[in-house]
Each structure stands twice: as C-alpha cells, then as structure tokens.
Amino acid sequence: MGSYVLATNGDNSRYDEIGYRLAAYARWQVKASRFFMQPELAYTDTKGQAYPVLYNLTNTQFGPSFFTFGHTIRRWELAVLAGRHTGKHTYILGGPLIAINQRQTLLPETPGYPASAAIFNSLFQSVLPVQLLAQAGIGATFGRFDFNLRYEQSLTPYTRRFTFEGTTYRYEQQIRQGVFTAGFLLHRRREEGVPLRP
C-alpha cells in the first residue's frame, strides 16, 4: 500500500483471541421425535486476528512493525438451528445464521502519524454489513443447565476489498471460530401426550 505493507501472513496463530456472545433462544421439539428446532437471537463481540503494518524503508527492506491492526467483530445475529437428541442428556445441532456487522468508528488523524488513521479507517470500512455463516456443534443438558461447543464458519466473506489512497486492494477474510455456550433454561412447557426430551 504505497510505503506500507499489511502483513496478513505475519501471525499464523488461530483461535487466540477471546470475546463473548450473549444469546436468547427457544427450543421446540418436533412432535414426539428426537428432533428439535432452535431459533436464536445473539450479540457477539470479539477480536479478529491482528496484523502488523510495516513501513517500506526500501524496495526490499521493511522497517520494524509500525503499528498493529485487528478488526473488532461486533454483530447482531439471527440463527435458525436444528438438532437431534442423541441420548438422555446429549444432542447435536447446527444451521445457518445471518449476521449484521457493525463497523468501527472512524479515527481522527493523529499528529505525526496520519497514515495509521488513514489505513485503519480504510480497513474499518471494508467490513461488509451483512454476512451469512453456519454453526455446528454438540451439547448436553443437566436439569435446567445447557452446555454446548460449536464451530462457526463463514459462508460469505467478512471483507472483500478495501481502498487506500485511491487504489483498491483485495482483502477477503472469512470468520472461523469456536464458541462455548453455557445456558440456563428459564421456562419449560410440557405438551399433553408428548414426552419431554431433555
């Protein structure tokens, strides 16, 4: 990017950023079967992978890391999950979710470091407003407590491209993350003639 390089291959670590996800859901058993439907409304706040931005001293030599950039992923989610009870206390579930991404607030230019704000703002604006993802996982219920572990994968990109100083660069990113959920059942309804699954 002119005199700067966004080193997207600078950190090979994954799953090293921790955030949180708050969700409300309902679970409906499909008649008397082991299958159920689980719509969810959730909010996620977590850090994405961090990339160093390097300053190009010459055509072949880069200076030390000038600053580090990383997206903060904040979004509202609507998920439509389906599952199956595999045992008295265990189940599997999965399905699609649609995410409404929030872009980060643009930064004012910092005296002496105008490029950092300009680069950050270009990357902030690259986030697509709507994204489709999928989750799959396993879980267990014990009384009113519900625990599950899920894997989440993008079906559409989080970003595609960004523009800096009049030039557009390809910048396609996917979201992959593990999600651990601990929940508490607020209400349980038993329908007449339908056995209650855990």
pLDDT value of position 192: 45
pLDDT value of position 153: 97
Note the pLDDT tens digit of each residue in 156-169. 999 999 999 899 99
CATH number at 134 reads 2.40.160
DSSP 51: E
Out of 22-36, 57-71, 85-99, 116-130, the most confident range is 85-99
Domain that holds residue 150: 18-47+73-157+175-184
Asked whether residue 134 is domain-assigned, the answer is: yes
Asked whether residue 34 is domain-assigned, the answer is: yes
pLDDT value of position 11: 61
Asked whether residue 33 is domain-assigned, the answer is: yes
Q: What percent of the chain has pLDDT over 70?
A: 85
* Measured CA distances, 197 to 26, 51, 81, 148, 180 (Å): 14, 46, 17, 16, 22
Note the pLDDT tens digit of each residue in 3-21. 888 888 756 666 677 899 9
- Secondary structure of 7-28 as H, E, C letters: CCCCCCCCCCCCCEEEEEECCE
- Under DSSP, is residue 144 helix (H, G, I), strand (E, B) or coil? coil
Asked whether residue 132 is domain-assigned, the answer is: yes
Q: How many domains does the chain have?
A: 1
Asked whether residue 52 is domain-assigned, the answer is: no
pLDDT value of position 117: 86
Asked whether residue 84 is domain-assigned, the answer is: yes
Asked whether residue 25 is domain-assigned, the answer is: yes
Asked whether residue 98 is domain-assigned, the answer is: yes
Query: Could you give the CA distance from residue 108 to residue 124 in angstroms, rounded to a whole number?
Result: 13
